[in-house]
Amino acid sequence: TLRLVAGSHKWEKMVLPVRWLNDANFYPGEGDYLPVPDPDNDPSMKVLEWEMEPGDAILFDFRTAHGARGNLTSARRRALSLRWVGDDAYYVERPGRTSPPYPGHDMTPGQKLREDWFPVIYRS
Structural domain contains residue 33: yes
Closest CA to 95 of 25, 36, 10: 25
What's the whole-model pTM score?
0.71
Q: Are residues 3 and 40 in the same domain?
A: yes
Show the domain range for 14.
1-70
Among 47, 70, 93, the domain boundary falls at 70
Number of domains in the chain: 2
* Element holding 3 (H helix, E strand): strand 2-5
Q: Are residues 66 and 107 in the same domain?
A: no
| CA dihedral of 111, 112, 115, 116, whole degrees rounded to 10 | 10
Structural domain contains residue 124: yes
Q: Are residues 3 and 52 in the same domain?
A: yes
Q: What is the tens place of the pLDDT at every residue in 90-117?
A: 998 877 666 677 788 899 999 999 989 8
Helix residue ranges, H only, 1-124? none
Instruction: Decide: residue 21, CB within 10 A, 0-12 exposed, 13-18 middle, 19+ buried.
Output: exposed
* pLDDT of amino acid 112: 93
* pLDDT of amino acid 107: 92
Parts of the chain with a pLDDT under 70: 19-30, 96-99
Q: Are residues 30 and 60 in the same domain?
A: yes
Please state the φ and ψ torsions of residue 44, each to the nearest 5 degrees.
-80, -15
